[in-house]
Structure 1
Amino acid sequence: MTIVRLGFVAMSTELKNASPSKTMTFSQFQKIRDREAAIRKLERIALSNLHNTLRLLRHCAAYDIHFYRLTSRLIPLANHEELLDWNYMKPLKEDLKVIGDFALKHKIRIDFHPDHFVLLNSQKKDVLKNSLHTLKLHYLLLKGMGIDVTHRCVMHVGGNYKETDQSLERFVDNWMVVPRSIQKMIMLENDDTSFTVEDTLYLCEKLGIPLVFDYHHHLAHHHDMNWQVHWERILTTWKDSPLPIKMHISSPKSEKEFRHHSDFIDSHMFFDFLQEIKGSVAEIYCMIEAKRKDEALFQLMKEIENREDIDIIDGASFYLK
């Protein structure tokens, strides 16, 4: 049997007034004449985001959700070029530790997915430099939480620049300047337009990076079901990871807007995938990327609770029989 654990991304549609992504633009920052007062305001916003993150983790624990993606927007303007002297970690130390302790106590797997502007294969040195700054922020947040950083940050390969082979090799070249501590943190995901499962596997196998398989992205890229031939290779990329394999699950908004994520998960599409991988792994974590966030998770569990091919474990986990 295979254990399937479901998770959701960053925001809750069920928990009110709990945004972990409150922000402040640099223009707003500049309008506060006292720079120290402006920094204190940034810190208050960051603390509010951490407070709501803890609320979201409590929400997860209450509903037996063991998988949650942290927002990458916890600290507004953390890496802005005009604020490089700001030690943003110092005032957040205690709150980060509380979050990490709670996640560990309740066995909630947490990770990050930086925004699309984090490009390790960029043609521009300043973009690569900024990307490394952003990844360092994620590293520091995880360390501040007391969470082992290994394989906690999933990324896309980056820009294709209409030259797939060269873009892949540029990733390899740039990987050499990524600090080892940050390399350990990275997982790679196939995308829906630029880099296929095969492309991403090339990098993962060459550099020793786990591949996070996105089923919807694969279908959007190929419009076929021919992914099973890669499954054993995908599993092998996880052989040295301390964490069980993870994947992303979403459903097309419509046939016309196939690449766009739907509000909810098509359970039939999901189980088409699960039936193929059943028994190949002891446990798999599935991050739901749906517009309705945790509501989509609850709806999916409600839809499948009477299926004869599963046994429910708890509010967000089940056995595939």
Structure 2
Amino acid sequence: MNLGYACINLTLSNNTPKITTNRSMVKKTFLNKGLDYASELGLANCKDLIKILKWNINNKIKFFRLSSEFFPWASEYNLQDLKDYNQIKSVLLEAGLLAKNNNLRLTAHPGPFNVLVSPRESVVKNTINDLSMHGEMFDLLGLERSPYNKINIHCNGVYGDKFLAMNRFCENYEKLPNSVQSRLTIENDDKSSMYSVKDLMYIHEKIGIPIVFDYHHHKFCDGGMSEKEALKLAVSTWPKQITPVVHYSESKSYHESNSLIKPQAHSDYINNIPKLYGIDVDIMVEAKAKELSILPFID
């Protein structure tokens, strides 16, 4: 079992100068400064990734979710168009080798605007473009084309008919490049009207992608299954040779004894690690305090 955190290292982001992989810009700046500035920010993000990975290794953290913000406004260009592309390739390859040589698992969780179930062609096209960029970046890092280095998404919509929506997911999955298909996973939701692990088995049985079990989400969308049942079902969808990933967070409302906060909201820290029922998994902790939330649990 490995514990991981997502995207931002708070310790390093408080450094001067700040160490981050989330340098970005508003659309107006992008239009004014163009590709050259996007390239500079992207390269700086890639260089800082190496610093974050080294920090993780030094602190015995073997699991890390990459930011989806490495390349500002990446939907507006191809990575090869960036003036620093060759240097970006070199830096990312170095980062990937560093992770591989130190058994540091890297994954990604592209945002909620990625909607393969959408009935709108433009939304699906944008989703394919964004996921393809993630796949390309993972290839530049030299990461496995397998769910070990997963690219995880939600269905992100029902559109009045859950099964029609899931069928669209499966149809649109076939339009993705292998760099994405081979790494794609899908996660259960935190609203009762959305997708439980039980629902997502329909997608798994059609196209074979693994299901990521989210403990916190399951509390709000259990599909009539216990935590243990849903966890075991999700884990059963993973290739035997790859350690499954689960997501874990705790309720901010509970932590702060504040009923005005949505119970789905994530707490800053966690009090415990989840019950594993004897199953070996890697746990991505989705807490607002990032690496600070898991350090007390690292051996």
Q: Counterparts in 2 of 1:187-198, with a 5 A limit? A: 187-193=185-191, 194-198=194-198
One-letter amino acid of the counterpart of residue 4, structure 2: G
Superposed CA offset, 1:203-257 (max 9, x none): 12321111110000001224997132234332221135x4211100000111432
Equivalent of 1:261, from 258, 266, 270? 266
The equivalent position to 1:87 in structure 2, one of 81, 86, 97, is: 81
Deviations 1:123-167 (A, max 9, x none): 111111111111111111111111113122011122112322221
Superposition deviation, residue 23 in structure 1: 0.4
- Residue in 2 aligned with 1:296? 293
Asked if the contact 1:157–1:200 (Cα under 8 Å) also holds between the matched residues in 2, the reply is: no
Q: Does 1:12 align with 2:9?
A: yes
Q: Of 161, 180, 183, which residue of structure 2 is paired with 1:182?
A: 180
Are the counterparts in 2 of residues 219 and 225 from structure 1 also a CA contact under 8 Å? no
Deviates more, 1:179-188 or 1:4-13: 179-188
* Equivalent position of 2:205 in the other structure: 205
Question: Aligned in 2, Cα 1:84/1:153: closer, same or farther, shift over 3 Å?
Answer: closer
SS class of match (2:221): helix
Q: Specify the SS of the correspondent of 2:113.
A: coil
For 1:159-213, what per-residue CA distance to the aligned partner results, in whole angstroms no more than 9, with x for missing partners?
1123222212221222232334421110111011211111112212321111110
Which consecutive segments of 4 or more residues in structure 1 shift more than 6 A? none
* Structure whose CA Rg is larger: 1
Secondary structure of 2:284's match? strand
Q: Percent identity?
A: 27
Equivalent AA in structure 2 for residue 211 of structure 1: I
Match of 1:118 in 2: 114
- Counterpart of 2:94 (choices 94, 98, 112) is 98
Q: Which blocks of at least 5 consecutive residues in structure 2 are unaligned?
A: none
Give the Å deviation of 1:84: 5.0
In 2, Cα distance between the equivalents of 1:62 and 1:95?
20
Q: Offset at 1:85?
A: 8.7
How far apart are the structure 2 equivalents of 1:218 and 1:76? Answer: 33
Distance 1:217 1:286 in 2: 14
One-letter code aligned to 1:297: I
Query: Is 1:235 the counterpart of 2:235 in the alignment?
Result: yes
Alignment of 1:20-99 (within 5 A): 20-32=21-33, 38-80=34-76, 83-84=77-78, 87-88=81-82, 89-99=85-95
1:130 aligns to 2:115 (yes or no): no
Moved more, 173-182 or 91-100: 173-182
CA positional deviation for 1:26:
2.6
Q: Tell me, what secondary structure is at the counterpart of 1:254?
A: helix
Instruction: Provide the secondary structure at the position in 2 that maps to 1:298.
Output: helix
Is the 1:220–1:258 Cα contact (8 Å) retained in structure 2? no
User: Aligned-residue CA RMSD in angstroms?
Assistant: 2.0
Q: Secondary structure at the match of 1:31?
A: helix
- How far off its partner does 1:111 sit? 0.7
Take 2:187 and 2:95, find their aligned partners in 1: how far apart are those partners? 26
Assess if the C-alpha contact under 8 Å between 2:199 and 2:223 holds in 1. Answer: no
TM-score, length-normalised on structure 2? Answer: 0.88
Higher RCO (CA-CA < 8 Å; seq separation 6+): 1
Query: Are 1:248 and 2:253 counterparts?
Result: no
- Between the two proteins, the alignment pairs up a number of residues equal to 283
TM-score, normalised by the number of residues in structure 1: 0.82
Per-residue deviation at 1:103? 0.5
**Unaligned 5+ runs, structure 1:** 33-37, 302-315
**Separation in 1 of the partners of 2:231 and 2:27?**
45
Q: Distance in 1 between matches of 2:171 and 2:66?
A: 29
Aligned to 2:136: 140
- Pair 1:91–1:79, CA change in 2 (3 A): farther
